[in-house]
Amino acid sequence: MLMWIFGDVKTNKVNVYEESKAGGFLELENANIDWFLSVDSNDLPKEIAAKGQRTFRLITVDGEEIEFSGGFTDLHTKSYEEILKQWLRFRRGKKKY
């Protein structure tokens, strides 16, 4: 998705690659991205962990931080439900997407 929005990859470096986390730098035509992904709860910010949150998603654009941790819990389930609905419609002859 990032490449679709920000253009082709110019540089892709992985700086951290462990069993529970990875991070690096991605330079695209119109964006520079430092990224970090982890399933280790010790990597959560302390204030997030103190609230009992198990996920944290943050993006910074032009110096402005946007946290979007909420609302993603059931995203995969909702996506698959919609895919299956469309597939069933197609299979039943209602070939409208």
Structural domains present in the chain: 2-72 (3.30.360.10)
What is the model's pLDDT at position 45?
92
Rounded CA-CA distance 36/33 in Å is 10
Rounded CA-CA distance 27/71 in Å is 28
What is the model's pLDDT at position 60?
87
The CA-based angle 49-50-55, given to 5 degrees, is 25
Rounded CA-CA distance 22/63 in Å is 23
Q: What is the pTM of this model?
A: 0.66
The model's pLDDT over 78-93, given as tens digits with 9 standing for 90+, comes to 888 888 888 888 888 7
**Pairwise pLDDT comparison (16 vs 69), residue with the higher score:** 16
The model's pLDDT over 23-79, given as tens digits with 9 standing for 90+, comes to 999 999 999 999 999 999 999 999 999 999 888 888 888 889 988 877 666 777 888
